[in-house]
Amino acid sequence: MRVVAVIPARGGSKGVPNKNIRPVGGVPLVGRSIIAALESETVGGVYVSTDDVGIAAVSTAFGASVIQRPAEISGDTASSEAALLHALDHMPEQPDVLVFLQCTSPFTTPAQIDAVVRKLIATDADCCFAAAEDHGFLWQENGEDAVGVNHDHTQPRKRRQELTPTYRETGSIYALRVTAFREKQQRFCGKTVLAVVDQAPLEIDTPDELRWCDAIAWTRKENVPLKPRLEAIKALVFDFDGVMTDDHVTVSETGEESVRCSRSDGMGITLLKEKGLKLFILSKEKNPVVLARAKKLGIPAQNSTDSKLPALQAWAAENGVSLSEIAYMGNDVNDVEVMGQVGLAIAPADAHPSAKAVAHYITAKDGGKGAVREVCDWW
């Protein structure tokens, strides 16, 4: 069967501005969903339906095909089903199964996607959705009275494990037979089954929920979504100012300039050199401090570089690596072109918004304050 995933991701979110490209654990929400779909065993293509240029750029950077969604189905009241049907109409080839992913569920995994698709196929269902077992005591109101829904509150209290199992939609994954979905034009389009996933329903609709999910991701020290990209990386290239420094300069009365670097970053680079990864500093800064710091670290560097992409292409050719095998860490507008061409683009937490917009990963630390070490510790 031909299975494709569609991720509706419109712009204009009011509760959390730019929600679909906000980072959780350093990775944009839409990017997390794209990676999960690309790494699943059952999905053969990934599409993002969006009306937003920024979301489209991030989606393309993560490897998805973009379907431009028209304004009439991009407003607050537009349904996800409308976006899915529009996406089907604009695919080069019709799939048998459509996997609907919501990028506001940040912890979707490839295994969960595969479980939903396989349950759909194994049961010959028209719709299968991800669900989590709910052990709670549910109630509803009957007039002024509270009445137990999944338990008889007039009887002695049962233990949670004695309740009849109930399941809650996670809201993250739906697999739909395309023929049935086109006919009914709603996600629950016929025989419906659920696939139980071991994950609480976490959806981001408010700033607090974004902060909670981001905290969870960092607590896990999670860079799992980036593992496939990391495996292909053979070289790590750094900008200097704002990456290896805190982007400040001290000027003496004689005009001499000095910058501040992190010893922790330096130790990270020392450890990474021992693992055989090629390292390089590529900077626009003319101050010889760039070359002095590189010499101290024992890695090559090039400064006074106005056009970084040609310089990086030349260095890559000399060192036998392709741009897709390079991770580049930049923080400002002059890094954006390069970041859009490499296999893994990284920005410090305090980078310029233009650099963060094209980054595959945004560090928890600021430039010159441990951001480089954070990246070095991945390997």
pLDDT tens for 270-321 read 988 888 889 999 998 888 888 999 999 999 999 888 899 999 999 999 999 9
Neighbouring residues of 179: CB distance < 8 A, sequence distance ≥ 6: none
Are 44 and 69 in contact, with CB atoms under 8 Å apart?
no
The answer to whether residue 374 scores a pLDDT higher than 70 is yes
Please identify, in words, the CATH class of the domain defined by 3-222. Answer: alpha beta
Q: What share of the chain is helix, strand, coil (3-state, %, to 5)?
A: 35, 20, 40
Percent share of the chain, pLDDT over 90: 55
pLDDT, tens digit, for every residue of 7-20?
999 887 877 888 99
CB 127 within 8 A of CB 177: yes
Q: Taking residues 29-46, what's their average pLDDT? A: 94
Q: Supply the pLDDT for residue 252.
A: 76
pTM comes to 0.78
The answer, yes or no, to whether residue 222 has pLDDT greater than 80, is no
- β-strands 27-28, 23-24 pairing: antiparallel
How many whole angstroms from its chain centre is CA 218? 13
Q: What is the mean pLDDT of residues 75-101?
A: 93
Distance CA 121, CA 364 (A): 41
What residues form DSSP beta bridges with 133? 167
Instruction: Yes or no: say if 104 and 19 are a contact pair by the CB < 8 Å rule.
Output: yes
- How much is the pLDDT for 170? 92
Q: Which two tokens stand for residue 297?
A: 């670290």
152 CB-near residues (< 8 Å, 6+ apart): none
Q: Residue 223 pLDDT > 60, yes or no?
A: no
Residue ranges of domains in the chain: 3-222, 227-376
Q: What is the pLDDT of residue 221?
A: 61
Q: Identify which of 5, 39, 14, 20 has the alpha carbon closest to the alpha carbon of residue 225.
A: 39
Count CB atoms within 10 A of the CB of residue 40. 25
Average pLDDT over residues 252-276: 84
Q: How confident is the model at residue 190 (pLDDT cuts 50, 70, 90)?
A: very high
Report how far residue 83's alpha carbon sits from residue 99's, in angstroms, rounded to the nearest whole number: 13
CATH 3.40.50.1580 fits 227-376, yes or no: no
